[in-house]
Each structure stands twice: as C-alpha cells, then as structure tokens.
Amino acid sequence: MSNPAFHPPSLLHPLDILCRAAARAVPWHEEVAPDSIPLPFRSLLVHNRDMTSTLELYHGGPIHLRVLNMSRDDDTLHREVLLCRDRDGVPVEFGATLARLRQFAEPWRSEIVASQRPLGGILNDSRMPYLSRPSAYLRLRPDAFLQAAFSLSGRPWLFGRRNTLTTPSGEEIASILEILPPV
C-alpha cells in the first residue's frame, strides 16, 4: 500500500510551483518515451550530463543566464530563466529551477543567488561532485509565457526533461525542468 502522505512531484515540477505563484496555468503537457523525442532534441535531452555544458558544446560557444522570475526563502531559490547564446542572445533553453541553497558552500551559494551564470557552469567551476538524474521526458504546447520567452508566433511542440541534481549520496541539490525551443 502506498503512503498517502507522499506525493511525487508533478511532471512539470518545479514549473508548477512557479506557475501557481504567478497565478498562471501550467502549459498543456504529456510525458513521452525518450526514444520518441525527435532529433536533435533527443541528443540534447536524453543523457546524464548537465545541460549547460551540453548546450555550449552543441551551440559552439558559451551561454549566459537571463532571469525571468525569481524568489527566495532562507534555503530555497526558485527561478525561471533562459539560457542564451553569448554570441547573439538567442535563447537555447528555458529552465525552471528549485535550488537547495544549504547544499552549496560560499562563494558558490552567493553566486547562485546572484543569478548571473547558469547553475551547471557554477557547479562545474566549483568542482562540487554531483549527479544529473533525469526522471521524465515531456512534450508541451507553449503557453503565452513560453511563447513570449522564446519569441514564438505559433504553438509548436516543445520538448524537455525533468531533472534532479543530487550529491553522490543522493541528497537533492536542485530540481530543474529544462525545455528546449524549436530548432
């Protein structure tokens, strides 16, 4: 029998939390099998690496962070961001993140809170050991918020993944929903 007090995170976690806080409805979405995701999205999503370095390799250069929304309590940072190519500012990912700040030592915690750089880049620079553990893949129709973020005129399918970054012992560092724009 399952524990009635345990509620697994939604497929869109932590975007669902951020949508509720902003009084926005969550976009229409469904879980998909990894092998049903078309290329190049499959090669960008179906792996156990961080998205920052994956996207920098794919796009041939550094990427930077653009914060759309952010809130913080003592231990948790919630934010919605775009990862954008440095060379032309084009968004290459939308991310909804819940970061557990107690997991980070200074100066890395302050850098994460400052939200000037992608989390993956900060983690890699800190040399903090972590694991990337994707737990679900999805496709969704962009709502008005994502249409504006990606400068979309229509509602094409977008693909993404729900990912949890953990310490090697399994403690959660961050929960991230990573959504790619159309090619």
Q: What is the pLDDT of residues 92-109, one digit of tens each?
A: 999 999 999 999 999 999
Single-letter amino acid, residue 85: R
In this prediction, residue 10 carries a pLDDT of 86
Q: Determine contact, residues 78/85, Cβ cutoff 8 Å.
A: no
Question: How far is residue 154's CA from residue 75's CA, in Å, rounded to a whole number?
Answer: 38
- Model confidence at 73, pLDDT cuts 50, 70, 90, reads confident
Q: Which residue has the tokens 């440095």?
A: 86
Neighbours of 134 (CB within 10 A): 18
β-bridge mates for residue 138, sequence order: 31, 160
Comparing 66 with 6, which gets the higher pLDDT?
66
Q: Determine contact, residues 46/133, Cβ cutoff 8 Å.
A: no
Mean pLDDT calculated for residue range 39-63: 96
Class of domain 29-180: alpha beta
Using CA atoms of 28, 54, 84, 36 in order, give the dihedral in degrees to the nearest 10. Answer: -20
Q: Which residues contact 49 (CB under 8 A, 6 or more apart)?
A: 132
For the chain, the residue count is 183
- Model confidence at 8, pLDDT cuts 50, 70, 90, reads low
N-term to C-term CA, the chain: 44
| All structural domains of the chain with their residue ranges | 29-180
Instruction: Give percent of the chain above pLDDT 90.
Output: 86
Mean pLDDT calculated for residue range 63-83: 94
Question: How far is residue 170's CA from residue 159's CA, in Å, rounded to a whole number?
Answer: 26
